[in-house]
Structures are given as structure tokens and as C-alpha cells.
Structure 1
Amino acid sequence: MEPINQFIKNNKKIERNNERIYQELLQNPKIVELINDEETPLTASMIKNDLITLKHYADQPSECKENSDGQCENHPDGYIINIDIRNDRANMYYTPCPIKVRNDEFIKRENLIQSYHVPEDIKNATFDTIYLDDSSNRNVLLKKAIQVTDAVASDANYRGLYIHGEFGIGKSYILGCIANELKEKAVSSLIVYVPEILRDLKAGFRDGTTDEKYNLIKNAHVLILDDLGAEDVTPWARDEVITGILHHRMVQKLPTFISSNFSIDDLEYRYARTKENGIEETKARRMTERIRALCEEVQMTGDNYRNG
């Protein structure tokens, strides 16, 4: 058992330390501001009752400071201590610091773009990085893409874009720009490279993932189909997958953007012919009618930059 003299000595030491902290707090600008608050002023008894809470509050740095890793150096956990005067007590609560808010917003925005089998340069494309030259009508496409993107973000009346043209002229890049512009406007999108996703859906029959992937694509807030028509044409791909997705999105009025090497008429001709069933013009037209309902057809021209 601690001797009574030692107990008294330690108690007096604690009291002196508490008094020192109390006097320091009375001089702290943050505490002075709380004391002078007209609605809920901090009193001497509150300070003494919640001494440690108020010391934590007073000792934290006032400003955020970003370190080399992009995190807040002054608030390592990303949160700022705040004080709420309630029921004659100083209650502590936390709010994220500005740097954490910024970083969380960045992560949130990055997650607004999902993709299946899309190259990084397409996912990172922006309208500011489009190369414009006299051999291309990219400037026309750029203006139209910006207008439609603004309309999507504001829920105005619009149709998406069906962009077709020769191989390698930047159709996919325009789609990436649209996705990133939507991201900046806090609108989520899903970019899908059509030939690969069809392989994924077919492979999903083995592990039971087909329905999950199909529903994710079908219900995406904004769906971007890249390189439609580059896949092997089969009745299943045409009727069960692509037409099914397009029909759902047409009925639900969901924004849809498409790129292809084929005009819509040429795409219809291509999809009307399969090895399994021969010529099926009606089924192909059923698919392309939904494309026309969802998208405005625009042709893109220019040099093949992949061979440049």
C-alpha cells in the first residue's frame, strides 16, 4: 500500500500540473475564442472538468500541412479535433481535415470510372489532351462530345454518341475523354471493350459470374461500349447480350456511348450474318434500331495514328 505521505505528495503534484495546464489553456487563442463565445461560453468549471479534452484540442496544429506522400503531416490520421459545448461539458468530436477531404474526393472520383479491358491511356484521356489537326474532324467531335457530356451531367434531354470511323483514328480516346469529363462532374460510367467482355461473359458460364457481369453492364449509370462490331458475330452475342443490353438501356433511358469501325448501316449488315443461322436481317435490325434510339451517329475522320 502506498504510504499516505507519498499519496498526498503525488496528489499535490497532479494538482500543480493541472493548474499549470489550466493557466496555459486560459492563454491559448483557441480556448479564449471558446470562452468568448456568446451562445455557449466555455466556463472555468468546464475547463477544469474537461482539462485533458481541451488540451488535446488546443495542442493540435491549426493548419494542415501536406507531406511528400500527399497526406496531412499535422493531422496524421486525417481528422481535426473540434469542441462542442453541451450539457455544461466540453465534448470532443472529429471532422476530416481539408487534405483528407481532398484525397477522399479524388479516390471517390477515380472510382467513378469502371472499366473492362480498356487501356490506361484511354482511361486517362481528357478533352484537354486531344490532338487536333487539319486532317481530322476531332474538333467537331470534341464540341459535340462536350455538349452531350454536359447534357448527361445535368439530366437534360440528349442522346449519346455512336462514333464510327477508320481504325486507329482516336474513337476510343474520345470515349475516354467523355468518361473522365463525366468523372469531373461526379457522374459514374463504365467503359467496356466489347470483344473481351463477350469472352468474359461466355467464360462466366463456368464459374457462374455471367449474370453478375451482364447486370453490371446493363445497369451502368453511363455505359460506354468500345469497338462494337470487332467481335465474332454469333446469335448469342447479338440477341442475348448486345440487343438485351441496348433494349434495357433504351427502356430505362440510360446514357449510352458507342464506338465502332462500322457505320450503323454497315453494322446491321455485319450482324445479320452468322455462321450458325445464316442471314437474319430482322434480328440485326432490332439491335441497330436500339442503337439509333440511344445514340446520335457521327463519323470521325483522320489519319491512323497507331501506324504513325
Structure 2
Amino acid sequence: MEPINQFIKNNRKIEENNERIYQELIRNPKIVDLIQDEENPLTASMIKNDLITLKHYADQPLECSENSAGGCDNHPDGYIINIEIRNGRANMFYTPCPIKVRNDEFRKRENLIQSYHVPEDIKNATFDTIYLDEDSNRSEVLKEAIQVTEAVASGEESRGLYIHGEFGIGKSYILGCIANELKDKSVSSLIVYVPEILRDLKSGFRDGTTDEKYRAIKSAHVLILDDLGAEDVTPWARDEVITGILHSRMVEKLPTFISSNFSIDELEYRYSRTKENGVEETKARRMTERIRALCKEVRMTGDNYRTR
């Protein structure tokens, strides 16, 4: 058992330490602000009852300090301690510090663009980095893309774009610019490279992932289909996948953007002929009618980037 003298001595040390902390707190500007609060002031008894809580609050740095890793040195866990006076006690609660808020917003924005089989340079494209030259109409297409993107971002009901033209002239790049501009305006999008996603959907029959991917594409807030028509034309791809996606988006009035090497008329001819079923013009027209309902057709011209 602890000797009574030692017990008294220890208690005296605790009381002296608590008094020291109390005196420090009542001179701290943050605690003074709480004491002077007109609606719910912090009292002496509250300070003495919640010394440790208030000391944690008073000791934390006022400002954030960003480190080389992008975190906050002054608030390592990313949260700031706050005090709320409730039921006669000083209660502690947390709010994210400005650096955490900024980093969370950045990660959220980065996740706004999802993609299937799209190159990084396309996902990172911006309107400011498009190469414009006199021998192309990229500036005209750019204006169209900016106008439609702004309409979509503002929530207006608007048709997307069906951009077609020769190989390598920057159609996919424009689509990437649209996705990034929407990201900057906090609008999510899904970019899909059509030939590869069709292969994914077909292989998904084996592992049961087809339905999930199909629903994600069909219901994306903004859908961007890259290189439509470059895939092998089959009745399944045309009728079950592409027409199904386009029909659902037409009914729900969801913004849709498409690139292709074919005009819509050329695409209709291509999709009307399959090895399995021969000529099926009506089914191909059913698909292209939905494209016309969803998108404004724009022809893009210019030099082939890939041969430079």
C-alpha cells in the first residue's frame, strides 16, 4: 500500500500540474475566444472538468503545413480538433483540415473519369493541349466540343457529338478533352474503347462479369464511346450490346459522345452486313437512328498525328 505521505505528495503534484495547465489555458487566445462566446461561454468549472480535452484543442497548430508527400505536418491525420459546449461540458469533434479537403477533392475528381482500355494520353487530354493547324478543322470541332461540354456540365438537355474522320486525326483526343473538362466541372464520365470492351463483355460470360460491366456502361452519367465501328461486326455486338446501350441512353436522355472512322451512313452500311446473318438493314438502321437521336454528327479533318 502506498504510504499516506506519498499519496498526499502525489495528489499535490497532480493539483499543481492541473493548476498550471488551467492558467496556461485561460491565457490561450483560442480558449479566451471560447470564454468570451456570448451565446455559450466556456466557464472556469468547464475548463477544470475538461482540462485534457481543452489542452489538446489549444495545443494544436492553427495553420496547416504541407509536407513533400502532400499531407499536413501540423495535422498528420488530416483532422482539426474543434470544441462544442454541450450539456455543461467541453466536447471535442473533428473537421478535415484544408489540405485534406483539397486532397480528397482531388482524388474525387480523379475518380470522375473511369475508362475501359483507353490510353493515358487520351485520359489526360485537355482542350488547351490540342494541336490546331490550318489544314484541319480541329478548331471548329473544338468549338463544338466546348459548347456541348458546357451544356452537359450545366445540366442542360443536350445531344452529344458523333465525331468521325480518317485514322489518327485526333478524334479520340477530343473525347479525352471532353472527359477532362467535365471532370474539372465535377461531372463524371466513362470512356470506353469499343473493340476491347466487346471482347471483355464476351469473355465475361465465363466469370459472370458481363452484366455488371454492361450496366455500368449503359447507366454512366456521361458515356464516351471511342472508335465505334472498328470492332468485328456481329449480330450480338450490334443488337444486344451497342443498340441496347444506345436505346437505354436515348430513353433516359443521358449525354453520349462517340468517335468513329465512319460517317453514320457508312456505319449503317457496315453494321447491316454480318457473316452470320447476311444483310440486315433494318437492324442496322435501328442502331444508327439512336445514334442520331443522341448525337450531332461532326466530320473532322486533318493530318494523321501518328505518321508524324
User: What TM-score, normalized by structure 2, do the two folds share?
Assistant: 0.99
Moved more, 142-151 or 49-58: 142-151
Name 1:70's counterpart in structure 2. 70
* Aligned counterparts of 1:199 and 1:189: Cα–Cα separation in 2: 21
Name 1:267's counterpart in structure 2. 267
Matched, 1:164 2:164: yes
* Aligned counterparts of 2:194 and 2:49: Cα–Cα separation in 1: 66
1:235-260 per-residue CA deviation (whole Å, 9 max, x = no partner) reads 11001100010011001111100000
1:212-238 per-residue CA deviation (whole Å, 9 max, x = no partner) reads 111111111110000000000011100
Name 2:174's counterpart in structure 1. 174
| Aligned partner of residue 81 in structure 2, secondary structure | strand
1:126-172 per-residue CA deviation (whole Å, 9 max, x = no partner) reads 11111111122111111111111111112213100000011001000
Name 2:24's counterpart in structure 1. 24
| Aligned partner of residue 214 in structure 2, secondary structure | helix
Matched, 1:61 2:61: yes
Name 2:110's counterpart in structure 1. 110
Name 1:288's counterpart in structure 2. 288
What one-letter code is carried by the residue in structure 2 that aligns with 1:77? D
* Aligned counterparts of 2:138 and 2:16: Cα–Cα separation in 1: 76
| Aligned partner of residue 73 in structure 2, secondary structure | coil
Q: What's the RMSD between the two structures over aligned residues?
A: 0.7
Matched, 1:239 2:239: yes
Contact kept in structure 1, 2:182 and 2:189, CA below 8 Å? yes
Contact kept in structure 1, 2:157 and 2:253, CA below 8 Å? no
1:57-82 per-residue CA deviation (whole Å, 9 max, x = no partner) reads 00000000100000011000000000
Name 1:98's counterpart in structure 2. 98
- 1:1-308 to 2 correspondences below 5 Å: 1-308=1-308
Gapped runs of 5+ residues in structure 2? Answer: none
* Aligned counterparts of 1:205 and 1:157: Cα–Cα separation in 2: 35
What one-letter code is carried by the residue in structure 2 that aligns with 1:211? D
| Aligned partner of residue 257 in structure 1, secondary structure | strand
* Aligned counterparts of 2:58 and 2:30: Cα–Cα separation in 1: 6
* Aligned counterparts of 2:56 and 2:88: Cα–Cα separation in 1: 18
Gapped runs of 5+ residues in structure 1? Answer: none
What one-letter code is carried by the residue in structure 1 that aligns with 2:70? G
What one-letter code is carried by the residue in structure 1 that aligns with 2:160? G
**Aligned sequence identity (%):** 86
Moved more, 120-129 or 289-298: 120-129
* Aligned counterparts of 2:81 and 2:198: Cα–Cα separation in 1: 51
* Aligned counterparts of 2:59 and 2:157: Cα–Cα separation in 1: 54
| Aligned partner of residue 163 in structure 2, secondary structure | strand
* Aligned counterparts of 1:123 and 1:135: Cα–Cα separation in 2: 25
